[in-house]
Amino acid sequence: MPEGHSVHRLARQFQDVFGGQRLEVTSPQGRFSAGAALLTGHTMVDAMAHGKQFFLSFDHGLFLHVHLGLYGAWSFGGDESFTGASSIGAPRRIGERETGSAAPDGAYAGPPPPVGAVRVRLVSDHGWADLRGATTCAAITAAETEAVLARLGPDPLHNRPGDRDEFIRRLRRRKTAVALLLMDQSVLAGVGNIYRAEVLFRQAVDPWTPGNSIDAETAGRLWDDTVATMADGVRDGRIVTTPPSLWTVGGAIAPDADAHFVYKRHGLPCRACGTLVGITEIGARKLYWCPGCQV
């Protein structure tokens, strides 16, 4: 499932290429035909992400709400003014790297025929975007949008005043293992399996520590490191949590094999202490950790 940095990058891309433009909205697959009819012909005002939830607001007060889930992805194309990633979402390489560039080959002649089960297609004068495989795709009101946001915890990529303290409060009031709490979207919005594993390692926190056993200082460090690593992900378009000193190949880009401390490195020596990185399941998701460092 795309983590929060990918969804924030998606919101940036939509704002760049569709902001202030009148959109034709259709559902080639047919499953979103009623919702598309409510949105088509209206101007997209704003694109917003909170955690893994994505919203497009339109000038008549309705919103397009999308949650990509495990299989959702947007693909894009258009003329020379329509730039950015050509695909964000599944299928993804490790670290959720985006694919390609939206730069066209030759003159833009409008969107191509839909390929596969396109839930929704957005078309402007300069380009198009297709959504496939999303868990949620709905046309909703402003009140319904607020109801979705009210169920979520603070988003580290917003990092608004009070968010840090609110995260600390939500984390420390629960007896649940911190590894589960970091992926509970009502506690912290946007973190997935990669950031969860990497931040817990970087802060040397035992994944099974109950939230109510974590002191406020440690909880604050978890928030601060999540803010920093996710901001790097927004900037770079992929998740890299290791410093360049650990990269085996020189250069400005980390090889995939060197990008993480513990994620998908089970059975390999810890980069810090040499203990073999462990793997188990918690909450039906794989957890990677170092039994030597995270005690």
Known active-site residue 238: no
Retrieve residue 255's tokens.
């090889």
3-state secondary structure at position 100: coil
Question: Cα–Cα distance between 20 and 32 in angstroms, integer?
Answer: 23
* Catalytic residue chosen out of the listed positions 3, 96, 98, 198: 3
Active site residue 12: no
Cβ distance 27 to 132 under 8 Å?
Answer: no
CB contact at 8 A, 59 and 19: no
Q: How far is CA 63 from the centre of its chain?
A: 19
174 is catalytic: no
Q: Of 2, 28, 111, 154, which one is the catalytic site residue?
A: 2
List 164, 174, 221, 285, catalytic entry? 285
Q: Which of 9, 28, 52, 156 is catalytic?
A: 52
Has 264 been annotated as catalytic?
A: no
Task: State how far the alpha carbon of 261 is from the alpha carbons of 85, 190, 277, 283, in Å.
Answer: 27, 20, 9, 21
Q: Which of 35, 13, 10 is nearest to 25 (CA)?
A: 35
**244 prior amide bond cis, ω within 30:** no
Non-local CB neighbours of 154 within 8 Å, separated by 6+ positions: 160, 163, 164, 166, 167, 188, 189
User: Residue 8 to residues 14, 43, 44, 46: CA-CA distances in angstroms?
Assistant: 10, 21, 17, 13
Catalytic residues: 2-3, 52, 285
